[in-house]
Amino acid sequence: MPKMTVIRTKLHRSISEKWKLKSVTVSREPSGKYFASFLFCCENQTAEKRPAEKFLGIDFAMHGMCVFSTGERAGYPMFYRNTEKKLAREQRKLSRCQRGSRNYEKQKKRVALCHEKIRNQRKDFQHKLSAGLAKNYDAVCVEDLNLKGMAGGLHFGKGVHDNGYGLFLSMLEYKLEERGKYLIKVDRYFASSKICSVCGKKKAGLSLAERLYYCECGNRMDRDINAAVNIMNEGKRIFAECA
């Protein structure tokens, strides 16, 4: 690199000799760590689209990030919530330090390391979960939610941002696309929570406090799982129309 000597690096993935290097972007994290992002020109490695046989529905959940139509839950550990007290303690220490002093810079780095650890834990969990879903399913159906509006309008800011659901969907989308699979987005106004996944009857109203879904047909199930099944069924319908 210009004006720099040879430096030791840790490569996250192998680089083929056939790829052509276009640019390098060096960035510095608040914790003091440096990262170099390499942009290469290479052949399209996306697999051809395949027929979809195994479908999965995903419903957003405030606790645990999401629920699957199989009845399982993602079980996201809520890393920010669990580290919130420690982070607040470190930030109080920073506020007592004299700005510009050596102790201030040391404490500022400790706070940055706390945030960096939370971010890395979240990304690690999301990468592993999205890779597993992309491997096991041909098509994943999700709701096209307005996460920014949910975070600001319903006082769910910390919960929505801690989940990182939008980043998880971005990871899932490109991993499915690489394998020739599909991410199907269902309209956000589709009444997934109010419709019975067994008989198809729609309820007139359903409050957020009602965590169990009861229907006249005898269906009794968790409302999030019921919504995930409805999202999967709607996704199958959309896929059939587009095929």
What is the Cα–Cα distance from 212 to 224, expressed in whole angstroms?
8
Residue 224 bears catalytic tag: yes
Encoded tokens for 179: 């394998």
Residue 90 bears catalytic tag: no
Annotated active-site residue in 138, 162, 224, 234: 224
**Nearest alpha carbon to residue 223 among 233, 237, 235, 209:** 209
Contacts of 141 (CB under 8 A, 6+ apart): 55, 56, 57, 58, 184, 185, 186, 231, 232, 234, 235, 236
Residue 84 bears catalytic tag: no
67 with 74: CB under 8 angstroms?
Answer: yes
Annotated active-site residue in 59, 90, 138, 162: 59
Annotated active-site residue in 138, 143, 162, 234: 143
CB under 8 Å, gap of 24 or more: what pairs does 49-54 form?
A: 49/180, 49/181, 49/182, 50/138, 50/180, 50/181, 51/138, 52/138, 52/139, 52/181, 52/182, 52/239, 53/138, 54/136, 54/137, 54/138, 54/139
Helix, strand or coil, per DSSP, at residue 202: strand
- Residues belonging to the active site: 59, 143, 224
